Amino acid sequence: MAEHRLTYRSTLEASEKLLDDLGELLARYRVDRGLSQWVLLVVSEAFNNALLHGNKRDPKKTITVVLRVNQSEIVADIIDQGEGGVEKVRSRRTSGPLAESGRGVDLMERFATSTRFEELADGGMKVTVSFCRSGGREYAKSPERHGGKDGY
């Protein structure tokens, strides 16, 4: 499995750079367009949550994205240097479809094959999302499978 480690300062400009870097990697591995869009959506949601809620836009802190790709799956770890993230995820309210914010975790859980939230020993949080690389819409959760909170 190929692995890429990308590290960014906690600045708003980093979100755009992440999308460019991730898009290039997905193209290099010939990930189909539909799946690429879902990976970009989910990883950017996790990244923005790490930026805003975890690291609180502190440019002294970093966010690391570890991307692993093989023929059958794509796995991304998004790691911040914040505090108390898992408890915030567990206690969050599900947002409505028209809410202006608060939908990030719901989107991650809907479009990734699996989602896991883990508190790190140093206080940061790691979000791990995975995607099957099979064709069609099979790589995302079907509506019947959606609804649980994987990983915690």
Domain ranges of the chain: 2-139
Sheet of 125-132: strands edge to edge? 2-9, 62-69, 73-79, 125-132, 114-119
Query: What backbone phi and psi angles, to 5 degrees, belong to 8?
Result: -135, 145
Over the stretch 14-57, which tens digit does the pLDDT of each residue have?
999 999 999 999 999 999 999 999 999 999 999 999 999 999 99
Q: What is the pLDDT of residues 125-135, one digit of tens each?
A: 999 999 999 75
The model carries a pTM of: 0.84
Whole-angstrom distance, CA of residue 145 vs CA of residue 114:
11
The hierarchical CATH code for the domain 2-139 is 3.30.565.10
Closest alpha carbon to 126 in 66, 36, 69, 68:
66
